[in-house]
A and B are shown apart, each in its own frame.
Chain A
Amino acid sequence: MRSPLHMREHLENLGRSAEGFVSSAGRLAMMLGHAAVYAVVPPIKFRNIFKQMEFVGVQSLFVVVLTGTFTGMVLALQSFNALKRFGAESMVGPTVALSMARELGPVLAGLMVTGRAGSAMATELGTMRVTEQIDALFTMAINPVKYLVVPRVIAGVCMFPLLTVITDFVGVIGGYLVGVKLLGINPGVYIGRTVDFVQVDDIFTGLMKSVVFGLITSLAACYYGFYTTGGAEGVGRSATSSVVLGSVLILISDYLMSSFLA
């Protein structure tokens, strides 16, 4: 039987974990609230926002184009093999396009940009925290949430849908190349079936998701970076945690949104 001392230790640990979770959730919610308010309170620093948009969006182009193209290609290949058994090869186009628009476009773009831009955001803010640059902003009467967090969150929310559209597009092109050029599906049938089956709503659903993913990724990165402690090791921990939390929340919220937006 365990001693009361052991029990107490376990209960204390449990209490500390619960307290840590609640306080983290509270700080995250506060950061979101402050960011939302400061985003509309002048002066609005468009230069900072555009700089972050360039970082999150333009600099992620290569990675999302690569991911989208190969995902579309492999989807076409796999769905062709499966659909051939039912004589439904003509459905490869819609399968690729629907999968990309509704699920894979937003999720893959989200995960890839979380890995690339999210970790970089957390590292940059974490380094600024441990080298007292964030404190320096405070002492210069500049609100660090407005100056650092708001442009990153706005960039995430605006650029994720754009990257998703590009991922969807290159995915469909990749699927077309494999389906038509490699596997010999009639191009007219491929395009016609795709246009018949894919609705504007399907694309819109994916874009809605990507807005949420952009918010999740940028907020998680800013949160972990902003509250970094423990020097260089802490910065590394923040980068890892932001990617893990961002990715997990993307997958969970994807399921929830798929359930509600279906």
Chain B
Amino acid sequence: MIKIIDLKKAFGPKKVLDGVNLEIEAGKITVIIGRSGEGKSVLVKHIIGLLRPDSGKIIFEDMELTAMKERDWNEARKRFGMLFQGAALFDSMTVAENVGFPLKEHTDLDDADILKTVREKLRRVGLVGVETMMPAELSGGMKKRVGLARAIVMDPEIVLFDEPTTGQDPIMSDSVADLILETQRALKTTYVVISHDIPLTYKIADKIAMLHEGRIIAEGAPDEMRRNPDPILRQFLEGRAEGPIKVY
């Protein structure tokens, strides 16, 4: 379980997170939704220690992540995996080198064992025979799959997804949603997904939390969120331009 308590972060005069409180259940998929620029990525970057908060806490099991030194963070990060928006594959490495990179850096496995694990993870994300390809040769959807294979290669306890369907067509988005569901059900890992893709959210979420103006304004199971009358939440989930959220 991850507990986020009164988390605040400002960049100059702009308050991005203004007292975020959220509980992320272990072994479940939590989807954090919100408009672009509302600080969803900033929140996730706090969870994995890429950003430090101005105040507030993030507690993971018995560790206070926000109080940890960089040295301790390096150990803690091995328990996390992250899939970036653009997959963030290293373009000077092949697919196999990308996926096997964390194993090569952090374990004593030899090259044959690394390749075996890489093949298994690639198969799990639905890719076969792509080991020697370079990232530039992959389609957007394949990059996401390779990125996910790399994120789960160390068998992390928590995987963070930053807008996994951005830039994908609806069919590919649905396939990414299936992939997230399948891998989560198989691995029983805690998944935290940030997205503004509503079909994806309803399909995969065990819990949905809406971030608006730096705070979580609504949270609950998908059915609860469907019934929640909050006008801001309704406008966002129904994708209307008219409503309390102003379009600039």
Residue B77 at the chain A interface, CB threshold 8 Å: yes
The complex places the Cα of A141 from the Cα of B94 at a distance, in Å, of 20
Could you say which of B15-23, B26-34, B84-92 contacts chain A?
B84-92
| Mask: chain B, 13-50; 1 = CB below 8 Å from A; 0 = not | 00000000000000000000000000000000100111
Residue B202 at the chain A interface, CB threshold 8 Å: no
B101 neighbours in A (Cβ, 8 Å)? 140
Q: Would B102 and A132 count as touching, CB distance under 8 A?
A: no
Residue B75 at the chain A interface, CB threshold 8 Å: yes
Q: Would A142 and B88 count as touching, CB distance under 8 A?
A: no
Q: Would B88 and A140 count as touching, CB distance under 8 A?
A: no
Q: Would B84 and A136 count as touching, CB distance under 8 A?
A: yes
| Mask: chain A, 135-163; 1 = CB below 8 Å from B; 0 = not | 11011111100000000000000000000
Residue B55 at the chain A interface, CB threshold 8 Å: no
Residue B78 at the chain A interface, CB threshold 8 Å: yes
Q: Would B77 and A138 count as touching, CB distance under 8 A?
A: yes
Query: Smallest Cβ distance from A35 to chain B, in angstroms?
Result: 15
Q: Would B86 and A139 count as touching, CB distance under 8 A?
A: no
For A140, the closest partner residue in chain B by CB is B102
Residue B106 at the chain A interface, CB threshold 8 Å: yes
- Take A139-B48, A141-B106 as given contacts and tell me if A132 and B77 are in contact as well, using a CB distance cutoff of 8 Å: no
B78 neighbours in A (Cβ, 8 Å)? 141
B75 neighbours in A (Cβ, 8 Å)? 141
Q: Specify which of A127, A128, A139 lies most central, judged by the most chain B CB atoms within 10 Å of its CB.
A: A139
Query: Smallest Cβ distance from B98 to chain A, in angstroms?
Result: 9
A140 neighbours in B (Cβ, 8 Å)? 77, 101-102, 105
Give the size range of B's interface with the partner: 20 to 34
Q: Would B74 and A136 count as touching, CB distance under 8 A?
A: no
B236 neighbours in A (Cβ, 8 Å)? none
Contact of B74 among A127, A128, A131, A143 (CB under 8 A): A143
- Take A140-B101, A141-B106, A142-B105 as given contacts and tell me if A135 and B77 are in contact as well, using a CB distance cutoff of 8 Å: no
Q: Specify which of A127, A131, A143 lies most central, judged by the most chain B CB atoms within 10 Å of its CB.
A: A131
Q: Would A133 and B88 count as touching, CB distance under 8 A?
A: yes
A133 neighbours in B (Cβ, 8 Å)? 88-91
The complex places the Cα of A135 from the Cα of B83 at a distance, in Å, of 11
| Mask: chain B, 70-86; 1 = CB below 8 Å from A; 0 = not | 00011101101110111
Query: Smallest Cβ distance from B147 to chain A, in angstroms?
Result: 9
Q: Would A139 and B90 count as touching, CB distance under 8 A?
A: no
Q: Would A141 and B77 count as touching, CB distance under 8 A?
A: yes
Contact of B50 among A128, A131, A139 (CB under 8 A): A139
Contact of B82 among A127, A136, A142, A143 (CB under 8 A): A136
Query: Smallest Cβ distance from A181 to chain B, in angstroms?
Result: 45
Q: Would B88 and A132 count as touching, CB distance under 8 A?
A: yes
B48 neighbours in A (Cβ, 8 Å)? 138-139
Query: Smallest Cβ distance from A30 to chain B, in angstroms?
Result: 12
The complex places the Cα of A136 from the Cα of B45 at a distance, in Å, of 11
Query: Smallest Cβ distance from B114 to chain A, in angstroms?
Result: 14
B 206-233 contacts with A by CB, 8 A: none
The complex places the Cα of A18 from the Cα of B50 at a distance, in Å, of 27
Q: Would B86 and A132 count as touching, CB distance under 8 A?
A: yes
A127 neighbours in B (Cβ, 8 Å)? 91
Q: Would A139 and B74 count as touching, CB distance under 8 A?
A: no
Which 7 A-B pairs have CB atoms at the shortest separation, nearest pair first? Answer: A141-B77, A136-B88, A132-B88, A139-B82, A132-B84, A141-B74, A140-B102
Q: B-side interface residues toward A, CB under 8 Å?
A: 45, 48-50, 73-75, 77-78, 80-82, 84-86, 88-91, 101-102, 105-106, 160
